[in-house]
Amino acid sequence: MSNQQLKDVGLKVTLPRLKILSILEHSEQKHLSAEDVYKLLLEAGEDVGLATVYRVLTQFESAGLVARHNFEDGHAVFELNSDDHHDHMVCVDSGDVIEFVNKQIEELQHQIAEEHGYELIDHNLVLYVKKKS
């Protein structure tokens, strides 16, 4: 994401915003809590406070740059918004978040809404799973 994209969503380009955005873009893990972002910034030798991380993530969410998810324990995690829709599975043992896309599930959701006289505008599907023994 570029400086211009930050400006396009009405945010001033600041060093903390750029550093946090870089963490979100380059982290192997796609779903990060504010604390995760803060720890990664510390590991990179960056001097950005936890309160700033929370504030910037909230600003990014308001601007539509990131999506906030509250999985099993209500613990908020953030991921960069993308044009491709996907759903999530959360492992209740490890906390791992697995993204998936299933055409049949997508079609069924539209069908269910239609059967009840509605048009599906958006949805958020989270499956809570555990590894088979």
Sequential DSSP letters for 65-96: SEEEEE-TTS-EEEEE--SS--EEEEETTT--
Composition of the chain by helix, strand, coil, percent to 5: 40, 20, 40
Name beta bridge partners: 72. none
Q: pLDDT at residue 3 above 80?
A: no
Q: What is the pLDDT of residue 6?
A: 84
Q: What is the set of domains in the chain, with CATH numbers?
A: 1-80 (1.10.10.10), 87-129 (3.30.1490.190)
Q: Which residues are annotated as a binding site for Fe cation?
A: 85, 87, 106, 123
Q: Tokens representing 14?
A: 């600041």
Would the pTM of this model clear 0.85, i.e. be above it?
A: no
Q: Which residues are annotated as a binding site for Zn(2+)?
A: 91
Helix 15-26 with 34-43: angle, nearest 10 deg: 100
Using pLDDT thresholds of 50, 70 and 90, give the confidence band for residue 2: low
Q: pLDDT at residue 74 above 90?
A: no
Q: Which residues are annotated as a binding site?
A: 85, 87, 91, 106, 123
Q: pLDDT at residue 78 above 90?
A: yes
Name beta bridge partners: 79. 67
Lowest mean pLDDT among 2-6, 22-26, 108-112: 2-6
Q: How large is the average pLDDT for residues 98-127? A: 94
